[in-house]
Chain A
Amino acid sequence: MLAPAILGLLIFFVYPLIASVYYSFTRFDLVSPPQWIGLRNYIYLFTQDPNVWQAAGNTLWFVVVLVPVRILTALGVAWLLVRAKRASGFWRTLFYLPALVPPVAAVVAFVFLFNPGTGPVNLILRAIGIQGPLWFNDPAWSKPSLLLLGVWVMGDVMIIFLASLLDVPQELYEAASLDGAKSWQKGWFVTLPAIVPVLVFSVITGVIAALQYFTEAAVASSVASGRATVGEGGGATLGYPDNSLLTYTEWLYVRGFSNYQLGYASALAVVLFVVASVVLLVLLRRVRAFTPEEAS
């Protein structure tokens, strides 16, 4: 019964992982066989690559800003939904709906909504006397624009919070009230412990997703620049404006699949693997640290 799974893991996970490490020590362009060059890819990566640090920095921005903002918004909206007892199904659907929109469609829509000259957002801002920024066309505003998009599609996280908030036994709140707990105390001592597992889960999945942040940034750059497509233009628009949206995985894509420097791109992949593993281990250890508290 498990034969397909084991075969699948070997072909599409174990082998590529080992092959990535091997390729990372070679020069490889897909046409001629890989050629061993030792550590040179790694030395170039850490000392000479003109864009890798900026790309890593951009990805870090999404990990440190996008993940917490999304989670806090989702938690806030879920909390409001729990309190709004009437028509909660309607509200739930409404706030979940944007999360359903295919990411490419969502990005295209946002680039249009936020386009500086004629987009509805700046139009409305102008009506109340604010000169809106250039959003996706300004290096300082491009990441915050994607942050707004990330908040708009927070529905999947919200649904999980909603379920866990509704799972908290009502008796616990009543018992706390009898003991004279104030509402912030109920939140801290009753609600928070109940949602900690979900909080941890959403942080882990959020960080993992942010480390591989690609589609939204790539499509935003391509659409906002209004120039050739990512595939056909050989990654020419990736990072627009001014490399402010060039994420680490985009840079890996450019080196590997636009420039066909597969050896070097493998080195970038191995570094990503190490970073992702370390992050996962740290986060999972945190989870274990939480478990005894949960049990008591």
Chain B
Amino acid sequence: MTVIAAPHARRRVLRWIGEHAILVAIGVLFIAPIAFVFLTSLMSNKQALTASLIPTSWHWENYLRVFQTVPLLQWFGNSALYAVLATTFMLVSSVPDAYALARIRFRGAGALFLCIIVAMLLPPQVTAIPIYVMWSQLHLTGTLWPLILPNLLGDAFSIFLLRQFFLTIPKEYADAARIDGCSEWAVLLRVIVPMARPGIAAAGLFMFFNSWNDYYGPLLYTSENSAAWPVAYGLASFRSVHGTDWSITMTMTILVMVPVVIIFFFAQKIFVEGITLTGVKG
């Protein structure tokens, strides 16, 4: 009776159901790919070649078999080395850069910041060839170092992101420290860095994920040396070598996703704030 008496309320309930039905439907579509990949990763090699969705027998040993098929541990090691070193180097160099751009006044600051924006936005392919020539003259092609070492001199996107974050910290904190006689480095390390932890963590996570996921860089520098491949690159060439084996290809696909997803769940808040910062306040 109340439903009939209050058409507005009824409409609201119906609309709620309607909107949530859409959400549930889209949600299922979004989760289904991962579910099917996971189910296939547990099928026998033979079953994966047939048209079926659910394993008839569960082959958890696929997750061991994949380590025997390709040098997966080595590839994971390469990825970890790449991602950890790139992130560490980036933080060591980009945090001071970003602080100087955000809080120190000097001539040419605007021009320098513009340069960093342009470097961040331009496609990497534009500068790839001379950089490749440089590394080949140093005999470092065939390794991941050309992708790791440049971070020692800062990374444009990270500098941009960190600067945006440092700008949100009130000036007065740094000023007070300066009056107490702190040098700029001391201001940065004792005052700004502790306050900017979420921003620094977000920049670090982005760098880590980007290195972990990188395909173009390893393709350019390590494609001919499979001992130096990161795991994402190894996955891309996996199926061509083990052509018909879908189940184990899906096993490896899951394994490549797992570290990123685990890190995300531990650092979800930092991550979401970081993405928001790039877009909303950028």
Contacts and interface: CB of A to CB of B under 8 A. Distances in A.
Interface of A: 1-2, 4-9, 11-13, 15-17, 19-20, 23, 30, 77, 80-81, 83-84, 91-98, 100-105, 107-113, 117-118, 120, 123, 152, 156, 159-160, 163-164, 167, 197-198, 201-202, 204, 208, 211-212, 214-215, 218-219, 222-223, 225-232, 249, 252-253, 256-257, 262, 265-266, 269-270, 272-273, 276-277, 280
- Name A's interface SS: helix
Contact of A156 (B27, B156, B275): B275
B215 A218 contact: yes
Contacts of B220: 253, 257
Contacts, number: 268
Contacts of B119: 9, 12-13
Contact of B36 (A113, A156, A212): A113
Given A5-B97, A8-B150, A269 B128 contact: yes
B126 A272 contact: yes
Contacts of B118: 280
For the complex of A and B, the 5 pairs showing the least CB-CB separation, nearest first, are A231-B223, A8-B153, A160-B279, A229-B237, A19-B130
Interface stretch (B1-9, B48-56, B62-70): B48-56
A198 to B, nearest CB: 5
B224 A231 contact: yes
A129 to B, nearest CB: 15
Interface string B239-255: 11101001001100100
Given A4-B153, A232-B237, A249 B129 contact: no
Contacts of A232: 223-224, 237
A11 B238 CA distance: 35
A5 B109 CA distance: 12
B99 A1 contact: yes
- Name B's interface SS: helix
A156 B104 CA distance: 32
A273 B123 CA distance: 8
A228 B278 CA distance: 39
Contacts of A164: 279-280
Contact of B223 (A91, A230, A276): A230
Interface of B: 19-20, 22-23, 26-27, 30-34, 36-37, 40, 48-53, 93-94, 96-97, 99-101, 104, 112, 115-116, 118-119, 121-134, 136, 150, 152-154, 156, 159, 184-185, 188, 209, 212-213, 215-216, 219-220, 223-224, 232-233, 235-241, 243, 246, 249-250, 253, 256-257, 260-261, 264, 268, 272, 275-276, 278-280, 282
Contacts of A94: 27, 30-31
Contacts of B40: 112
A269 B236 contact: no
Contact of B125 (A7, A12, A152, A272): A272
Given A102-B232, A164-B279, A222-B236, A30 B136 contact: yes
20 contacts: A4-B153, A5-B93, A16-B130, A20-B126, A20-B130, A91-B27, A92-B272, A94-B31, A101-B34, A103-B232, A104-B213, A105-B256, A108-B238, A112-B250, A113-B37, A118-B48, A198-B280, A202-B279, A208-B123, A215-B216
A167 B275 CA distance: 15
Contacts of A83: 19
B126 A7 contact: no
A230 B280 contact: no
